[in-house]
Amino acid sequence: MAKTILVVDTEGRGREIDGVNNCEVFLPDVLDRQDPLAISQALRRDARDIQEAGIQLIAIDSLTPIYKRMAAEALAKNERRLNKNKSSAFVDKANAIRLFQDAAVSLGTDVAMIWHYETGRDGNGKEIRNQTISEMERQKLARSLNGMIELKREKNRRVARIVWSRAGGRALQGVEIVDEQGFWKGVPEQIDALFAEAGKRRQERIPAEAQAS
């Protein structure tokens, strides 16, 4: 997967992948990389430069601190009674995130939006593991995604598991690809091939279903 990547680096680790699998990494010129409004403005402002630089992938790495910050700011505004309507703070959060999501996908490149799991304990002290983005927020992201992939380590190996795909539906859910070569080399291409084949089968079904009806 040799790509020229623009990394919206919210965690200060974007340079770690520079050179891995022959990838070349660029970072956007934005002061606050955890501010979705600033990100969207920078992407639209630099759209021509991004295209001329041959950027093939925009990676948001990761969404977790963005969502956590926006949620904390919304709660703080409500606690200080800065909003007459408490829900308005969360509406602002949703709108800001939608702005940068639309800006990223509008440039015509591949887009990878990354978020994390976190562990904690429930009321009974039992360890639990949750995604850092709620189900509702994942559904909103899904409108501009072709699939959701879970990356995990188990039994001394790393695995990419398809959680959801637009074209494949339930047929691809749970399909796993093992990182045989390290650094996920070749894994994105295998996932792309699965999605493409599922999309082809889906298109072939449409005429048959139309005739049957």
Measured CA to CA, the distance from residue 101 to residue 80 in angstroms comes to 29
Structure tokens that stand for 158 in this block? 């790393």
Which pLDDT band, with edges at 50, 70 and 90, does 118 fall under?
very high
Check: CB of residue 110 under 8 Å from CB of residue 55.
no
Measured CA to CA, the distance from residue 24 to residue 15 in angstroms comes to 9
Check: CB of residue 86 under 8 Å from CB of residue 78.
yes
Q: Is the pLDDT of residue 210 over 70?
A: no
pLDDT of residue 89: 63
Check: CB of residue 5 under 8 Å from CB of residue 56.
yes
Q: Is the pLDDT of residue 130 over 70?
A: yes
The Cβ of residue 166 has, within 10 Å, a number of other Cβ atoms equal to: 16
Average pLDDT, rounded, for the chain? 88
Q: Which residues of 7-17 are buried (b: 16+ CB within 10 A; e: fewer)?
A: bbbbeeebeeb
pLDDT of residue 78: 83
pLDDT of residue 209: 60
Mean pLDDT within 27-49: 91
Tens digits of residue pLDDT in 55-81 = 999 999 999 999 899 888 888 888 888
| One-letter identity of residue 190 | Q
Percent of the chain with pLDDT over 70: 94
Sheet strands (E) in the chain: 4-9, 24-26, 57-61, 110-114, 117-121, 127-131, 147-154, 157-165, 176-178
- Which residue would you say has higher pLDDT here, 15 or 89? 15
Q: Is the pLDDT of residue 201 over 80?
A: yes
Tens digits of residue pLDDT in 170-183 = 899 999 999 999 99
Contacts of 88 (CB under 8 A, 6+ apart): none
Q: Is the pLDDT of residue 147 over 90?
A: yes
Q: Is the pLDDT of residue 16 over 80?
A: yes
Q: Is the pLDDT of residue 36 over 60?
A: yes
Check: CB of residue 46 under 8 Å from CB of residue 28.
yes
Q: Is the pLDDT of residue 213 over 60?
A: no
Q: Is the pLDDT of residue 198 over 70?
A: yes
pLDDT of residue 181: 94
Structure tokens that stand for 85 in this block? 């309507």
Which pLDDT band, with edges at 50, 70 and 90, does 50 fall under?
very high
